[in-house]
Amino acid sequence: MNLISIVYGLFLLSVLGIYWSIGEQKLRLWVLLIASVVFYISYQPQYLPLLLALAFINYRLGIEIGQNTSPGEHSQDWRISNLEWQYAQADWNRRRLILVCIGVVLNIFLLFGFKYLIPFLKFALPEATITSFGLDTFKLLAPLGISYFVFECIAYLVDVYRGAPATGNFVKFATYKLFFAKVTSGPITGYHQFANQFKTISFPTANIISEALWLIARGAVKKGLLADNIGIFVDICFGNLQRAGSTDIWLATFAYGLQLYLDFSGYVDIARGSAMLFGLVLPENFDSPYFSTSIADFWRRWHITLGDWLRNYLYFPLGGSRAGLERTCVNLMVVMVVCGVWHGAALGFIAWGMIHGTALVVHRLVDRISNGIEFLEHFWQTPIGVISAWLITQLMVFTSWIWFRLPSLRDSNLAIQRLWGQPADAQFSQLVYVEALKMTQFQLAFILATTFVCMTIAYFFKRHLKLEFNWHLKLLLVPLCLYIVWLLAPQGSLPFIYFDY
């Protein structure tokens, strides 16, 4: 069920009508759960029992981890000596640690089995063995959204281990896990952040409804109108690297950076807008990342919920920045390699993660050096320093997308090699610009530049002038945006990119 479709619009309206016509909160949970089950069945009905079983296992583990079975608190039970109570607490803490480790390993094992086992076997086994077992042609389709599903489960178990209350309501937990707005591509949402909203849920005001509809319409424009049209050129260019010239590959690299951002942030806008109509708020996932002036700032703005997860459940447990500069750099590299592996099993994703890890390490070292040299510390705050930092950061970010878009090292290395001094094949230019896009290379570059300028203007008005459309204007723009998408979006819209991750 494509989020940019009439079918999804009718589905959303139907669920909303039933949801708000019911006054009892328990029944509303059931409505959301059933709707989410129907939504997931429209994609992959065969994996629904697996996800429900995984949700139930994590639900039960959460209860066991959160249940205090130690023999009472010493202050309330004078019959237990202080030493006995301390032993009981130590035994219970060990049991809780074992349970949370079992839960984390189980979730990672499931994720590894679906996303990484076959690629790992192809990499590790001899070619003859791979061919004899048919692994060279075998592909295992992973459950849609499994990476987000697993990361949310791990976060829930660790939060309960750290002291957050475990839920005793499986319907609420399953609704949280399968909520149709976020199940396929996030954003990664904490259970308590989601579930606590049901305590004070109320019918959205006119302002909230207009904001929700505006988010949906804006997301549709980002995804259907901009990302999908840009994606046509990206797919053709990266699919014909041998024929593409250096200028074409640079254009495709810049275009893919825009496509990825518009596609993913467009999906999140639709997801957040849909949730707001149910009185729920999903976390933001993007904050104008292409205007970051450092790689650290970029990761505070790009895929925010994934960055938060990596900090809270990996970087900080590894020691964060508390154990000295050398250990901090090692931790940053480990976190970013894990981030790369999370996106996929190909070596290109690992290379992408290592590039970002190296960039974070370099930024940390430059920051440390700059703090000790007054001239450098002042330089990075001047307009020239800010612009230089932005250019360096975005050049690194956009060029690293090549490994992300072409996770096969053979393809990504070829693209890197052809970034300089390579003329385009005449047939390539005819195929891409004349037949497929019906525009010149210059016109395409102008459209991409205009798109980025529009993003810059929107960023300036929102971040610096604090100006936004009022809710009346947003409501007026919603039907116009949806009509433009229906009229100008390419037929057979491309799937959301992050469905693959």
Neighbours of 388 (CB within 10 A): 14
Residue 75 has a pLDDT of 44
The average pLDDT across 488-497 equals 76
Higher pLDDT, 184 or 14: 14
Does the pLDDT of residue 93 top 50, yes or no?
Answer: yes
SS (H, E, C) 341-376: HHHCCCHHHHHHHHHHHHHHHHHHHHHHHHHHCHHH
The average pLDDT across 273-279 equals 95
Residue 331 has a pLDDT of 94
Q: Which residues contact 293 (CB under 8 A, 6 or more apart)?
A: 386, 389, 390, 393
Residue spans of alpha helices (H) in 239-324: 246-277, 295-301, 304-310
Residue 136 has a pLDDT of 58
User: Do 336 and 357 form a contact (C-beta atoms < 8 A)?
Assistant: yes
The average pLDDT across 48-53 equals 94
User: Do 130 and 96 form a contact (C-beta atoms < 8 A)?
Assistant: no
Q: How confident is the model at residue 135 (pLDDT cuts 50, 70, 90)?
A: low
The average pLDDT across 357-383 equals 89
Residue 278 has a pLDDT of 95
Residue 431 has a pLDDT of 82
Q: Which residues contact 173 (CB under 8 A, 6 or more apart)?
A: 55, 58, 59, 62, 167, 191, 195
Residue 212 has a pLDDT of 95
Q: Rounded CA gap, 113 and 116, in Å? A: 6
Q: Rounded CA gap, 307 and 315, in Å? A: 10
pLDDT > 90: percent of the chain: 63
Does the pLDDT of residue 190 top 80, yes or no?
Answer: yes
Q: One-letter amino acid identity for 106? A: L
Does the pLDDT of residue 74 top 80, yes or no?
Answer: no
Neighbours of 137 (CB within 10 A): 7
Higher pLDDT, 240 or 402: 402
- The residue ranges of every structural domain in the chain are 22-201, 203-286+413-501, 290-405
The average pLDDT across 355-361 equals 96
Residue 401 has a pLDDT of 96
Does the pLDDT of residue 416 top 70, yes or no?
Answer: yes
Q: Coil, strand or helix: which one is 459? A: helix
Does the pLDDT of residue 471 top 90, yes or no?
Answer: no
The average pLDDT across 94-119 equals 89
Q: Rounded CA gap, 67 and 136, in Å? A: 47
User: Active-site residue numbers?
Assistant: 343
Q: Rounded CA gap, 136 and 458, in Å? A: 48
Does the pLDDT of residue 71 top 60, yes or no?
Answer: no
Mean pLDDT of the chain: 88
Residue 73 has a pLDDT of 47
Does the pLDDT of residue 84 top 70, yes or no?
Answer: no
Q: Rounded CA gap, 380 and 386, in Å? A: 6
The average pLDDT across 116-141 equals 68
Residue 128 has a pLDDT of 65
Residue 2 has a pLDDT of 83
Does the pLDDT of residue 251 top 80, yes or no?
Answer: yes
421: left (phi over 0), alpha (psi -120 to 50) or beta: left
Within the chain, what is the greatest distance between any pair of CA atoms? Answer: 90
Does the pLDDT of residue 376 top 60, yes or no?
Answer: yes
